[in-house]
């Protein structure tokens, strides 16, 4: 049977989600736990290869197994073999032809900023610290201007290979709660470093470097050099991945 | 001049706030940073000696110095000498006779619980995980019954030496946001382990072990054995310490 894991992790200690030549990846650690549980190597497929230092509340991993353990109990069995910074938060059976990447998905990311003179030690690994005051209303206005289907070439890191740089954004907003600013964005897919470049650009707008309307002009320029810097990885959290074709069954 | 630091820290890696024979204390680390900055040992006085594993968003530390550095700049100078899990978040000058403990204070604590099948790796060090469903409305009802001036002997760990076990609670409440339950309590002072024993008792009420009205009976019994267990330290955060006699000046 094919099993889908929803996975949460603190990416601080890892070289990213996907196995790499140098460094320990989250996929390696989960693979090791599955191998220990089943007594043989297990091939896993993920929905999103998050970068080093990036976190998740709900990345998706899929694999096949002949185990007799019930799907919802598998999460406990695997968690017992994982370090505290990685947790399987949900485990369900999916159709045998389900693939986490090659079908329509809706992904939601958050980029978290603490905006005050000094960072907060309690959340130091999961938010970016920004000293100067940020105007969240301007950031929100700019964020909303990317909603819709656009070519996001301006917000894509060099070296990205994809058939198209057009993506559909369903929702994008910036909210503040006390000293904390959150940029939330939901879309059909994201280019390499796209959310972090969007966040870096929104921060420049919030700091008053250019007005909110500039966001639209940057988008239309289709030129990476027009956008802001790539914001640090630790502020980024992959919140959720939804599969519209399987809505209600996963 | 006398300086007051508001301090935030992740208590995970320390034996508590106050210097001890075994293990590294938060006070030791800050003392070392001050000694490095000023070139001589500095005697510090704290408002609250939090236990090993307990966190703070706003503990208070006071010391005297002849430095020429302006109070608000001192935070930056000391932070540059501190590890990431300890931050001075505010620094102000206070009257020379100000003592952080021997005067009227209003302290606010939070006890944080994540109530779902699996813990969250992103917040694993700053919240307690509780698997079984908790009824936050019952917990809130029980929490509110401790508001007022009472003898909290039932909620005090053995070995505590104080003239009186009577304390005044100004506010106590339990709220839920998704899978997260927060017990917030504000009072004139707290006995040893008091907030954690209150939290442990509220969890038993939330789990249905006894009804909310039992909280009042436990309080009146003046008997530690009637209350619930001491909840684990990592869920506890000292949020704020206010000084009513200096309100508006600190």
The residue among B5, B7, B237, B240 whose CA lies nearest residue B125 is B237
Q: Does the structure show a pLDDT above 90 at B204?
A: yes
Whether B121 sits inside 8 A of A84 (CB atoms) is yes
Check: CB of residue A238 under 8 Å from CB of residue A58. Answer: yes
CATH number of the CATH domain containing B49: 3.30.70.580
* Pair (A10, A68) in one structural domain: yes
Whether chain A has a CB inside 8 Å of the CB on B231: the answer is no
pLDDT averaged over every residue in chain B: 95
Residue B235 has phi, psi (to 5 degrees) of -80, -10
Whether A121 sits inside 8 A of B79 (CB atoms) is no
Supply the pLDDT for residue B242.
Answer: 95
Residue carrying the six token digits 């939804």: A242
Give the number of other CB atoms < 10 A from CB of residue A33. 20
The model's pLDDT over A146-184, given as tens digits with 9 standing for 90+, comes to 999 999 999 998 877 778 999 999 999 999 999 999 999
Q: For residue A213, what are the domain limits?
A: 106-241
Note if A151 is an active site residue. no
What mean pLDDT comes out for the span B4-33? 94
Report how many helices (DSSP H) and strands (DSSP E) chain B contains, helices first.
5, 10
Assign B150 a pLDDT band (cuts: 50, 70, 90). very high
Assign B249 a pLDDT band (cuts: 50, 70, 90). low
Supply the pLDDT for residue B128.
Answer: 98
What is the reported pTM? 0.94
* Pair (A112, A96) in one structural domain: no
Rounded Cα distance, A206 and B39, in Å: 40
Assign B62 a pLDDT band (cuts: 50, 70, 90). very high
> How many independent structural domains does chain B possess?
2
The model's pLDDT over B100-139, given as tens digits with 9 standing for 90+, comes to 888 889 999 999 999 999 999 999 999 999 999 999 999 9
* Pair (B232, B190) in one structural domain: yes
Supply the pLDDT for residue A20.
Answer: 86
What mean pLDDT comes out for the span B154-168? 87
Which structure tokens are listed for A28?
């390696």
Assign B22 a pLDDT band (cuts: 50, 70, 90). confident
* Pair (A76, A164) in one structural domain: no
Rounded Cα distance, B250 and B248, in Å: 6
* Pair (A97, A122) in one structural domain: no
* Pair (A160, A143) in one structural domain: yes
Q: Which residue of A has its CA nearest to B11?
A: A122
Which residues, 6+ apart, have CB-to-CB distance to B203 below 8 Å?
B113, B130, B134, B139, B228, B231
Q: A119 contacts in B (CB within 8 Å)? A: 84, 87
Assign B203 a pLDDT band (cuts: 50, 70, 90). very high
Q: Does the structure show a pLDDT above 80 at B248?
A: no
Domain stops at, among B102, B137, B160 = B102
* Pair (A15, A82) in one structural domain: yes
Q: Which residue of B has its CA nearest to A123?
A: B123
Check: CB of residue B224 under 8 Å from CB of residue B190. Answer: no
The model's pLDDT over B75-85, given as tens digits with 9 standing for 90+, comes to 999 999 999 99
Tell which phi-psi region holds residue B53, choosing left (phi > 0), alpha (psi between -120 and 50) or beta: left
Q: Is residue A247 part of a domain?
A: no
pLDDT averaged over every residue in chain A: 95
Instruction: Mark B67-81 as b/e (b = at least 16 C-beta within 10 Å).
Output: eebebeebbebbbee
The model's pLDDT over A14-47, given as tens digits with 9 standing for 90+, comes to 999 998 888 999 999 999 999 999 999 999 999 9
* Pair (B88, B141) in one structural domain: no
Q: Is residue B139 part of a domain?
A: yes
* Pair (B110, B203) in one structural domain: yes
In a mutational test of the B interface, the residue from A121, A233, A238 whose CB has the highest number of chain B CBs within 10 Å is: A121
Residues of chain A with pLDDT under 70: 249
């Amino acid at each position: 049977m094919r099993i889908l894991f929803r996975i949460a992790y603190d990416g601080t200690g890892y070289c990213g989600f996907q196995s790499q030549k140098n460094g320990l990846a989250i996929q390696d650690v989960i693979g090791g736990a599955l191998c220990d549980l089943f007594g043989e190597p297990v091939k896993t497929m993920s929905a999103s290869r998050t970068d080093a230092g990036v976190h998740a509340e709900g990345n998706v991993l899929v694999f096949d197994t002949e185990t007799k353990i019930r799907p919802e109990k598998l999460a406990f069995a695997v968690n017992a073999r994982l370090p505290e910074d990685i947790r399987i938060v949900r485990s369900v059976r999916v159709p045998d032809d389900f693939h986490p990447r090659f079908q329509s998905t809706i992904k939601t990311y958050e980029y978290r900023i603490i905006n005050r003179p000094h960072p907060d030690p309690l959340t130091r690994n999961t938010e970016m610290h920004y000293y100067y005051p940020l105007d969240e209303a301007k950031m929100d206005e700019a964020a909303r201007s990317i909603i819709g289907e656009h070519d996001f070439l301006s917000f894509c890191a060099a070296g990205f290979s994809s058939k198209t740089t057009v993506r559909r954004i369903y929702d994008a907003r910036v909210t503040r709660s006390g000293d904390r600013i959150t940029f939330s964005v939901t879309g059909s897919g994201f280019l390499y470093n796209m959310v972090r470049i969007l966040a870096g650009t929104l921060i420049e707008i919030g700091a008053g470097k250019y007005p909110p309307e500039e966001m639209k002009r940057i988008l239309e320029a289709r030129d990476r050099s027009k956008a802001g810097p790539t914001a640090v990885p630790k502020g980024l959290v992959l919140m959720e991945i939804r599969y519209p074709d399987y809505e209600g069954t996963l």
